[in-house]
């Protein structure tokens, strides 16, 4: 938040001229080189001399590198993206020190994201036209949607994806994003799955589109053609680009579907309850890894997280070990064992017939509402829109037990 408004990035595709593409490609390479040189300098300083090198010191090193004969080419591109990549490296180290990420890794030419970030001093924004430093012409941007009235970008990020598409992201303050005042429902819980992407506590099931499966045959054919090409040949690069375009089409469709789903859920509900799934651990199951990756549960949760912050909603995260599927939502009876292929079951205590996913969503809703209401075992996160329930089964059981007794 800045000035009471949400800072929001608007991403557009653009088509550079040959000169612009060459300049940007050169900038991407210099950005990657500076990042790797700074990471190497900081790593050697620590392991060899037990010294910590910060952003200011790496900025001074950048000046020395530009003066050297070996790295004189760094002075041929705009200095702002090079300074920005040093700031990004500093942020990566801060995340590492605070336990939020692993130790920063070197950027590889073929695997890392090709991007460069420009601040206000390195671009000109005039009458809806964007011109970057070291360029004479403005970018040919496809304005698929309009920016907020009067918005001026504070940061511009140019990137190229593996499919060869060019994008520009404009960071602006968006006054149109404000907390919503009304909601059709007070609360809803989501149970993530594979047959149904999510099952709501209301009984609604959102079908899993399985975007990857739709293009699986086409993707397999393109990958076989890629494997036959000679290393480092032009034909191999063309085949690699075809594979990347298929992957891009799959991810674009998946992201579009998740955006529409999460926006609807946030607009219709004041509180959203989800389960804290260990997706990384689930991906170790080789039988389900492909389907789990295609479902993109982590991306779904990330969208719900920031959209709840934007629109003043509450996101409650229930611990992954709470037995939501094995607990009867009618009487609270706990089933000892429930195999994954069992999608429906009958409660031995009260005789209620349960759909596994709907029952799990109802239990998640009960836990989210009960524990949030009584305040037992609630640990607030960094932002005020999200609440996590700790990994203590007993507290969740006590909360839901009170809920079941109140219903009776």
**In the annotation, is 152 catalytic?**
no
Residue 36: burial class (beta carbons within 10 Å; 0-12, 13-18, 19+): middle
Q: Torsions phi, psi of 163, nearest 5?
A: -80, 0
Indicate the helix (H) or strand (E) that contains 354: strand 353-355
Return the SS3 of 278: coil
Q: Which of 133, 126, 137, 128 is nearest to 158 (CA)?
A: 133
Q: Torsions phi, psi of 389, nearest 5?
A: -95, 130
Indicate the helix (H) or strand (E) that contains 258: helix 234-268
**In the annotation, is 191 catalytic?**
yes
Q: How far apart are CA 346 and CA 339, in angstroms?
A: 14
List 23, 117, 173, 191, catalytic entry: 191
Q: How far apart are CA 285 and CA 289, in angstroms?
A: 6
**In the annotation, is 256 catalytic?**
no
Tokens 């719900």 map to which residue?
304
Q: How far apart are CA 223 and CA 200, in angstroms?
A: 37
CA-to-CA separations, 287 to 120, 290, 291, 292, in angstroms, rounded: 49, 8, 8, 10
Radius of gyration of the chain (CA): 25
List 23, 275, 294, 305, catalytic entry: 275
Q: Which of 19, 154, 11, 8 is nearest to 80 (CA)?
A: 154
CA-to-CA separations, 89 to 27, 34, 49, 334, 341, in angstroms, rounded: 17, 10, 20, 49, 46
Q: How far apart are CA 250 and CA 199, in angstroms?
A: 23
List 23, 212, 305, 357, catalytic entry: 357
Angle (nearest 5°) at CA 190 between 189 and 194: 160
Q: Which residues are catalytic?
A: 191, 275, 357
């Amino acid at each position: 938040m800045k000035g009471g408004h949400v800072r929001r990035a608007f991403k557009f595709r653009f088509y550079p001229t040959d000169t612009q593409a060459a300049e940007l490609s050169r900038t991407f390479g210099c950005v990657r080189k500076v990042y790797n040189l700074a990471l190497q300098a900081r790593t050697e300083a620590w392991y060899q001399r037990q010294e910590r090198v910060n952003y200011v010191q790496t900025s001074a090193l950048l000046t020395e590198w530009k003066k050297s004969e070996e790295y004189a080419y760094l002075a041929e591109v705009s200095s702002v993206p090079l300074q920005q990549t040093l700031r990004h490296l500093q942020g990566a180290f801060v995340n590492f020190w605070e336990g939020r990420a692993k130790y920063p890794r070197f950027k590889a030419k073929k695997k890392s994201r090709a991007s460069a970030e420009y601040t206000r001093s390195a671009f000109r924004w005039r009458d809806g036209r964007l011109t970057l430093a070291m360029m004479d012409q403005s970018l040919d941007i496809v304005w698929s949607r309009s920016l907020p009235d009067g918005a001026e970008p504070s940061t511009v990020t140019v990137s190229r994806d593996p499919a060869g598409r060019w994008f520009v992201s404009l960071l602006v303050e968006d006054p149109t994003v404000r907390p919503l005042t009304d909601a059709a429902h007070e609360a809803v819980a989501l149970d993530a799955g594979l047959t149904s992407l999510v099952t709501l506590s209301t009984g609604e099931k959102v079908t899993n589109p399985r975007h990857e499966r739709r293009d699986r045959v086409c993707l397999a054919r393109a990958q076989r053609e890629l494997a036959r090409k000679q290393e480092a040949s032009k034909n191999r690069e063309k085949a690699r680009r075809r594979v990347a375009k298929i992957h891009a089409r799959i991810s674009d469709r998946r992201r579009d579907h998740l955006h529409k789903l999460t926006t609807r859920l946030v607009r219709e509900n004041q509180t959203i309850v989800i389960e804290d799934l260990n997706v990384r651990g689930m991906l170790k199951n080789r039988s389900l890894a492909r389907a789990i990756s295609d479902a993109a549960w982590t991306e779904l949760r990330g969208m719900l997280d920031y959209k709840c912050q934007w629109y003043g909603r509450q996101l409650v995260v229930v611990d992954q070990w709470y037995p939501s599927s094995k607990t009867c939502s009618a009487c609270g009876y706990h089933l000892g064992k429930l195999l994954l292929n069992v999608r429906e079951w009958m409660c031995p205590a009260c005789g209620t017939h349960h759909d596994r996913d709907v029952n799990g969503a109802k239990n998640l809703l009960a836990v989210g509402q009960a524990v949030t209401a009584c305040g037992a075992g609630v640990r607030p996160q960094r932002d005020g829109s999200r609440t996590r329930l700790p990994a203590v089964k007993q507290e969740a059981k006590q909360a839901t037990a009170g809920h079941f007794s109140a219903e009776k």
